Amino acid sequence: MSRRVLAVLGSAVLALSMAACSGEGAGSGGKDGDKPADLTIGVSMPTQTSERWIADGNSVKEKLEAKGYKVDLQYAGDDIPTQSQQVDQMITRGANVLIIAAIDGTALSGQLQAAADAKIPVIAYDRLIRDSPNVDFYVSFDNYKVGVAQATALLVGLGVQNKDGSKGDAKGPFNIELFAGSLDDNNAHFFFDGAMDTLKPFIEDGTLKVKSGQTKIEQVAILRWQQEAAQKRMEDLLTSSYNDGTKVHGVLSPYDGLSRGIITALQNAGYGGSGEMPVVTGQDAEIASVKLINDGVQNSTIFKDTRLLAEQAVVAGEAFLQGKTPEANDTETYNNGVKVVPSYLLPVQTVYKDEIKPILIDSGYFTAEEVAAGQAKG
């Protein structure tokens, strides 16, 4: 709380001093006659601990540089004050547009006010920035559908439903446990809502049983999406709810990193190998998890093509630099608490073992060798 107040005060001071000394503002979008080489795009990414953000940052940078723009790319190490400071610096160094994937969707209001005062358009990248009027555009995937797809994969893995949506042969009851992402990430709520809307009828009719009784997002969320924290929570669940010999049959996991922590806890408790491995879902198609899916250890992941997302961010950024309004394909879903932010949303795809080749390898996202090795060549 106090950190947040301090951050806001700090940014207010910054905004005032910028207004006092620069008149027009440091960035001010593009001006007529500006060449790409005169324009800088600040790109603020949350962390390098997850492959996807590294791929996102690199793709956005490469695509902008290919068009001749300058790029100021920063990673914040999942630390909120670091991200605030990096965005402050981008503004003072003269960014003309900001592309931001926030760690905490509500923590950057001060920076965004400074950006607005300097007339720098702000694009929220994948994660919506909340509680600020100063977010101009949002590029992401259909995050509710990600949750629906994760829950559907769990149902398919358990045999309750078939891939084509028809009713499966399995009747249950199956013991499942639920995980969600970081509560300060708007996406975590969309994923969980989509998943729970899909699972609810099966929980209500007794096909699925959440044995721990933990079904609220506050009970199942993992701060900063940390793999170790997910492993610890799974270990605790096994000790507290499955020490009577009953088995867990499925785990709803919203992100591959968490899935790997969950899988480690399960394997340490004797699941897998000769015994059966519970159905564990995921997201992001991280290479280590794609290998686990290929090896039959993880059930599935949800693939979000970050190359396409980066492309949309570049299209939107360039529109702003040319004084235009980027084209949205959704102007209803993403209310950030202050306004509905015009959005461009991309579709998602579920990848089970059979889809690794057609979706990930044939599209050039990974090579067959990378999947076999569980490591990207980079």
List residues near ligand BGC by CB under 6 A.
Answer: 50, 52, 126-127, 181, 185, 187, 225, 255, 283-284, 304
Question: Residues 83, 102: contact at Cβ < 8 Å?
Answer: yes
User: Would you say 14 or 102 has its CB closer to ligand BGC?
Assistant: 102
d(Cα 225, Cα 203) in Å, to the nearest integer?
A: 25
Cβ 173 vs Cβ 209: under 8 Å: yes
CB of 286 to ligand BGC, least distance (A): 9
- Number of CB atoms found within 10 A of residue 228's CB: 12
Name the minimum Å distance from CB 143 to ligand BGC: 7
Query: Which phi and psi angles does 321 have, rounded to 5°?
Result: -65, -25
Closest separation in Å from C-beta 2 to ligand BGC? 26
Cβ–Cβ under 8 Å, residues 97 and 112: no
Q: Which is nearer to ligand BGC, 175 or 300 (CB)?
A: 300
Please report, for residues 7, 15, 128, 239, the alpha-carbon distance to residue 106 in angstroms, rounded to integers and kept in the order given. 12, 18, 9, 35
CB nearer to ligand BGC: pick between 50 and 207: 50
Q: Which is nearer to ligand BGC, 25 or 181 (CB)?
A: 181
Q: Which two structure tokens, joined as six digits, stand for 251?
A: 């785990």
Which residue, 51 or 117, has its beta carbon nearer to ligand BGC?
Answer: 51
Question: Per-residue DSSP letters for 157-201?
Answer: HHTSB-TTSSB-S----EEEEE-B--TTSHHHHHHHHHHHHHHHH
Nearer to ligand BGC, 78 or 136 (CB): 78
In whole angstroms, the minimum distance from the beta carbon of 278 to ligand BGC comes to 20
- How many whole angstroms separate alpha carbon 190 and alpha carbon 192? 5
Choice between 40 and 47, CB closer to ligand BGC: 47
Residue 72 backbone dihedrals phi, psi, to 5 degrees: -110, 95
Buried residues in 276-299 as b, exposed as e (16+ CB within 10 A): ebbbbbbbbbbbbbbbbbbeebbb
Nearest to 350 by CA among 193, 205, 155, 211: 155
Q: Tell me the closest approach of the beta carbon of residue 350 to ligand BGC, in angstroms.
A: 14
Task: Identify which of residues 103 and 114 has a Cβ nearer to ligand BGC in the complex.
Answer: 103
3-class state of residue 80 by DSSP: helix
Q: Which two tokens stand for residue 83?
A: 């991200």
- Treating both helix axes as pointing N-terminal to C-terminal, what angle do 227-241 and 256-268 enclose, rounded to 10 degrees? 40
For the bound state, the minimum distance from the C-beta of residue 119 to ligand BGC, rounded and expressed in Å, comes to: 28
**Partner residues linked to 139 by β-bridges:** 125, 344
In the complex, the smallest distance separating the C-beta of residue 207 from ligand BGC, rounded to whole angstroms, is 28
Alpha-carbon span 281 to 255, nearest angstrom: 8
Q: Token pair of 187, please? A: 């996406």
| Cβ at position 70, least distance to ligand BGC in Å | 27
Minimum gap (Å) between residue 101 Cβ and ligand BGC: 7
Nearer to ligand BGC, 118 or 280 (CB): 280
Nearest distance from residue 224's CB to ligand BGC, in Å? 8
Minimum CB distance to ligand BGC smaller for 187 or for 281: 187
Amino acid 208 reads L
